[in-house]
Amino acid sequence: LDVVRLTLAKNVAYNIVNEKTTYGLIKALSNMYEKPSTSNKVFLIHQLVNTKMREGTNVVDHANEFNSLMSRLVSVNFKFDEEVQALLVLS
């Protein structure tokens, strides 16, 4: 629990200072970052659109990053149809 706290930014750590269990900590962080808020959606879409495969990067790693962002968008109730997903992969 303390190791996780040490890795958090000060403004985030302040919001979870009263959590006594790992479950409580994870729940608090989930409530902060996985809410389907507009700012969270904008942040994730920005990350997705600006995801580019860097030179020397493994294709599998790039595909995993893309899929991770898509999953995070689905978790905040934002869905792309299959055509848009294909266009994003090809861009």
Domain ranges of the chain: 2-33, 38-90
13 neighbors 5 (Cβ within 8 angstroms): yes
Q: Does 60 have pLDDT greater than 90? A: yes
Q: What is the pTM of this model?
A: 0.61
**How far is residue 44 from each of residues 56, 61, 71, 87, measured CA to CA in Å?**
24, 18, 10, 17
Give the model's pLDDT for residue 67. Answer: 92
Taking residues 44-67, report their average pLDDT: 90
pLDDT in tens, 63-91: 999 999 999 899 888 888 999 988 888 87
Give the separation between CA 23 and CA 34, rounded to whole angstroms: 15
pLDDT in tens, 8-45: 888 788 778 888 898 988 888 888 777 778 888 888 99
Q: Which residues are within 8 A (CB) of 20 and not within 5 positions of it... i.e. 6 or more apart?
A: none
